[in-house]
C-alpha cells in the first residue's frame, strides 16, 4: 500500500520541524543547552536526558504523554516540543504536560517544595494565539493585581515561527526563521543545520524513521481500505433501499437516482467514521501511545482534539 511513498527521499528532505528529526538533533547536549539558553535567556551548566521522546503514563488506563525533548539541569525540568498542527486545545495540552511532569518528577509522599521548576516550551509553525508575536510567555499571576506573581515555579512558553522577525534575540530570530523553512547564515543555525546533515547520515536513525513511517502508513492504508469497502457496501444497500422508497412516492426513476446519491453520501460518511474507528483499534493493538494516536487522527482526518478523543475512548 505504501509503494507510492518514497521513504528514502522523505528522509533526505526532512526539515528540523519534523519532530523525529528535531528529537535526534536535540540529543546533542551542547546544541540542546545552547537552544534552551537562547530561548529562555537563562544559563544552564549541564543537562541530563530524562528520556528522548519520553512517554509518561502514571497508571494503567491513564492518558499517556509523549514528550519530544525532556531534560533537567538539577533543579529545573525542560520540556521542548515541536508543534506543526494548529489545534485550539494547545493551551490545555500545555497544562496537561506540566501537570504530568510534576507528578512524574516527585516521589510519592514527598513535600511540595521538592517540586522542580518546570518549563513547557512549544515551537509552533503557526501563530497559536493570533497576536502576531514571536513569543508568548505565561506565568500564574493575580488577576486583581498583576504585579503579584504566584511564583509556583512553572512557565509555559510558545514560539511562533511565522512571525520570527519580531523576536528580539538574533539567534532566536534566525532559529525560528530556519524552522519556518527559510535559509539562514546565522552561525548558531549553521551548527544546527550541520547536525541535521549528520543525523541524516545515521543508518540506524534512517532505518528507524523509515520503519516507523512504513508501519504507520501500512496501518492507515489497511484501515482506510477496510473502511471504504464497508462504506461502499453500506452505501449501495442504503441507496437501493432509499431509492425504492422514494421511487414509490415520486416516481421510480427519480427515486432511484436520489436514493443512490443519498446512499453514496451517507456511505461515504459512515465509511469515514468506520475508517477512523478501525485506525484507532489497530493503533491500540500495536500499543502505540494515546497521544500519538490523537495526533495522527487530528492530522489524517482533520479532527479537533476533542473529536479525536471521543473516537479514542469509544473504539
Cell of 264: 453514496
* More reliable by pLDDT, 67 or 203: 203
Q: What is the mean pLDDT of residues 73-83?
A: 92
pLDDT for the residue numbered 245:
63
Cell of 160: 511562533
pLDDT for the residue numbered 288:
72
Reported as a single tens digit per residue, the pLDDT across 46-75 is 999 886 545 555 444 445 556 788 899 988
What percent of the chain clears pLDDT 90, i.e. is strictly above it? 43
Cell of 59: 497508571
213 and 193, same structural domain? Answer: no
| Confidence grade of residue 108 (pLDDT, cut at 50, 70, 90) | low
149 and 44, same structural domain? Answer: yes
Q: Please determine, for residue 80, whether its predicted confidence score (pLDDT) is greater than 80.
A: yes
Q: What is the mean pLDDT of residues 266-284?
A: 73
233 and 267, same structural domain? Answer: yes
Distance CA 280, CA 293 (A): 7
230 and 183, same structural domain? Answer: no
Window from 11-15, 17-21, 258-262 with minimum mean pLDDT: 258-262
Distance CA 294, CA 280 (A): 9
Q: Which of 149, 171, 201 is the last residue of a domain?
A: 201
Reported as a single tens digit per residue, the pLDDT across 185-202 is 999 999 999 999 999 999
Counting the structural domains of the chain, the total is 2
Distance CA 221, CA 1 (A): 6
Sequence-distant (≥ 6) Cβ neighbours of residue 310 within 8 angstroms: none
Closest CA to 311 of 296, 221, 106: 296
| Confidence grade of residue 169 (pLDDT, cut at 50, 70, 90) | very high
Cell of 314: 469509544
What percent of the chain clears pLDDT 70, i.e. is strictly above it? 73
175 and 256, same structural domain? Answer: no
Q: Backbone phi, then psi, for 119, in 5-degree steps? A: -125, 120
Question: Which H, E and C letters describe 37-59, residue by residue?
Answer: HHHHCCCCCCCEECCCCEEECCC
Helices (H), the chain: 7-13, 19-25, 29-40, 90-105, 170-179, 187-199, 203-250, 252-285, 290-301, 305-314
Q: What is the mean pLDDT of residues 28-52?
A: 91
What does the DSSP assignment read for 135-174? EEEE--B-SS-TT-B---SEEEEEEEGGGGGG-SSHHHHH
Residue 60's CB is within 10 A of a number of other CB atoms, namely: 5
220 and 188, same structural domain? Answer: no
Helix (H, G, I), strand (E, B) or coil at 4: helix
Q: Which of 201, 234, 259 is the last residue of a domain?
A: 201
12 and 161, same structural domain? Answer: yes
Q: Which of 201, 216, 245 is the last residue of a domain?
A: 201
219 and 163, same structural domain? Answer: no
- Total residue length of the chain: 315
218 and 164, same structural domain? Answer: no
Q: Which helix (H) or strand (E) holds 66?
A: strand 65-67
pLDDT for the residue numbered 299:
77
Q: Please determine, for residue 157, whether its predicted confidence score (pLDDT) is greater than 60.
A: yes
146 and 263, same structural domain? Answer: no
Average pLDDT score over the chain: 82
Contact 75, 301 (CB under 8 A): no
Sequence-distant (≥ 6) Cβ neighbours of residue 201 within 8 angstroms: none
pTM of the model: 0.68
pLDDT for the residue numbered 252:
53
| Confidence grade of residue 273 (pLDDT, cut at 50, 70, 90) | confident
Cell of 158: 510558545
Q: Give Rg (Cα) of the chain.
A: 24
pLDDT for the residue numbered 258:
60
Range of the domain at 53: 2-201
pLDDT for the residue numbered 269:
73
Q: Backbone phi, then psi, for 25, in 5-degree steps? A: -65, -40
| Confidence grade of residue 260 (pLDDT, cut at 50, 70, 90) | low
293 and 232, same structural domain? Answer: yes
176 and 99, same structural domain? Answer: yes
Distance CA 250, CA 7 (A): 54
Amino acid at each position: 500500500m505504501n509503494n507510492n511513498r518514497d521513504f528514502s527521499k522523505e528522509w533526505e528532505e526532512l526539515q528540523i520541524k519534523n519532530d523525529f528529526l528535531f528529537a535526534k538533533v536535540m540529543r546533542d547536549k551542547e546544541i540542546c543547552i545552547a537552544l534552551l539558553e537562547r530561548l529562555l535567556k537563562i544559563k544552564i551548566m549541564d543537562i541530563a536526558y530524562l528520556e528522548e521522546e519520553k512517554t509518561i503514563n502514571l497508571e494503567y488506563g491513564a492518558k499517556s504523554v509523549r514528550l519530544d525533548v525532556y531534560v533537567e539541569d538539577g533543579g529545573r525540568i525542560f520540556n521542548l516540543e515541536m508543534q506543526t498542527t494548529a489545534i485550539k486545545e494547545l493551551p490545555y495540552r500545555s497544562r496537561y504536560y506540566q501537570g504530568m511532569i510534576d507528578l512524574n518528577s516527585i516521589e510519592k509522599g514527598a513535600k511540595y517544595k521538592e517540586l522542580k521548576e518546570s518549563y513547557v516550551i512549544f515551537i509552533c509553525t503557526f501563530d497559536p494565539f493570533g497576536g502576531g508575536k514571536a513569543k508568548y510567555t505565561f506565568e500564574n499571576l493575580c488577576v486583581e493585581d498583576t504585579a503579584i506573581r504566584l511564583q509556583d515555579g512553572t512557565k509555559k512558553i510558545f514560539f511562533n515561527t511565522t512571525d520570527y522577525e519580531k523576536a528580539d534575540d538574533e539567534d532566536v530570530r534566525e532559529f525560528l526563521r530556519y524552522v519556518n523553512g527559510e535559509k539562514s547564515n546565522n552561525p548558531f543555525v549553521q551548527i544546527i543545520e550541520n547536525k541535521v546533515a549528520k543525523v541524516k547520515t545515521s543508518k540506524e536513525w534512517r532505518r528507524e524513521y523509515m520503519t516507523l513511517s512504513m508501519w504507520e502508513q501500512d496501518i492507515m492504508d489497511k484501515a482506510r481500505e477496510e473502511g471504504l469497502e464497508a462504506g461502499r457496501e453500506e452505501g449501495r444497500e442504503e441507496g437501493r433501499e432509499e431509492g425504492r422508497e422514494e421511487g414509490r412516492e415520486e416516481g421510480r426513476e427519480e427515486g432511484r437516482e436520489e436514493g443512490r446519491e443519498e446512499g453514496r453520501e451517507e456511505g461515504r460518511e459512515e465509511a469515514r467514521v468506520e475508517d477512523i474507528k478501525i485506525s484507532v483499534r489497530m493503533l491500540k493493538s500495536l500499543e502505540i501511545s494515546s497521544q500519538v494516536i490523537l495526533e495522527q487522527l487530528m492530522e489524517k482526518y482533520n479532527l479537533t482534539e476533542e473529536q479525536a478523543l471521543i473516537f479514542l475512548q469509544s473504539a
